[in-house]
Amino acid sequence: MSEKSVKAAPKFVYNCVKCGQYCSKIEKVPVSFQDIARWRKNGILNGLGQNIGMDMAGGFPQLVLETKEGENGCPMYDSENKICQIHHDMPLNCQAYPLSYNGSKYFVSDKACQGLGQGSMDAEQLKTQRDAAMNDYEARIESNTLVPMLYSIIMGDLVDQSRKSMEHMTEDQKNQLQDIIKEEKD
C-alpha cells in the first residue's frame, strides 16, 4: 500500500460560530455537582437555582438546567443576541461541546454542529477541548452516582413525613384525600 492511499484520520477542528443550533434546541442541559459548587463559589447559583431540576428520562435522576414550560432551548441561552448568559461559567457539558468522552475515547457528540471544521485549532486548544470533555465525563460519573442516592434519601424522608401526617388525620380528612386522589386519576 502506497503512502498516498493511506487515509489520514480526520482532525478535530472546532470553533463556536454562535449559531445557537445546540443552545436553542436542548431542553435539559446536564449539570454536575462540580457545576453547582463552582456556581455557588462564583456567586451565580442563586440566579440559576430556579432552572436546576431533576430529569428522570434515563431511568434514574440526573441534575439538569431545564427549560420552563412553553419555552425552547437552554434557559441560559439568549436567542435574540445568540449568546449564553453564563458563557463565562458554562456547565461542563457545554464547555466540552461538541466533543465527548466515554471513559476510553473521545468522539464528536453532534456531527451537525456548525462550528465543526471552522477556523483552526492548535495543540493547546485541542488539549483544552479534550480536558473539558474528560472533566464533563468524570463529573457526570460522580454526580450520577450521588444524585440517585440523595434522591432516595429525600424521597424516603418525604414518605416518612407523609406517613406521620396521615397518622394525625381524622377519618373525614382521609376520606377527602382519597376523593382528591380519585379525581386526579380520572
pTM: 0.73
Total domain count for the chain? 1
Q: What is the CA radius of gyration of the chain?
A: 22
Q: For residues 62 and 54, is the Cβ–Cβ distance under 8 A?
A: yes
Long-range contacts of 43-52 (CB under 8 A, 24+ apart): 44/86, 44/89, 48/76, 48/86, 51/75, 51/76
Structural domain including 82 reads 12-145
Looking at the domain assignment, is residue 164 inside a domain? no
Residue at 117 is within a domain: yes
Please write the tens of the pLDDT for every residue from 127-143.
Answer: 999 999 999 999 988 88
Structural domain contains residue 51: yes
Q: What is the rounded CA–CA span in Å between residue 178 and residue 176?
A: 5
Residue 30 resides in a domain: yes
| Rounded CA separation 98/22 (Å) | 9
- Flag whether 119 is in a domain: yes
Q: List, run by run, the mean pLDDT of 10-residue segments along the chain (186 residues).
A: 49 89 91 91 90 83 85 90 92 95 94 91 92 94 75 68 79 82 72
Determine, yes or no, domain membership for 152.
no
User: How far, CA to CA in Å, does 10 sit from each of 7, 140, 145?
Assistant: 9, 28, 34
Q: Are 91 and 98 in contact (CB under 8 A)?
A: no
C-alpha distances out from residue 75 to 51, 85, 96, Å: 7, 9, 18
Give tens-digit pLDDT for 72-89. Answer: 899 999 988 889 999 999
Query: How high is the pLDDT of residue 163?
Result: 78
Q: Does residue 178 lie within any of the structural domains?
A: no
Domain contains 176: no
Beta-sheet strands, E only, within the chain = 28-30, 52-55, 62-66, 77-78, 83-84, 99-101, 106-108
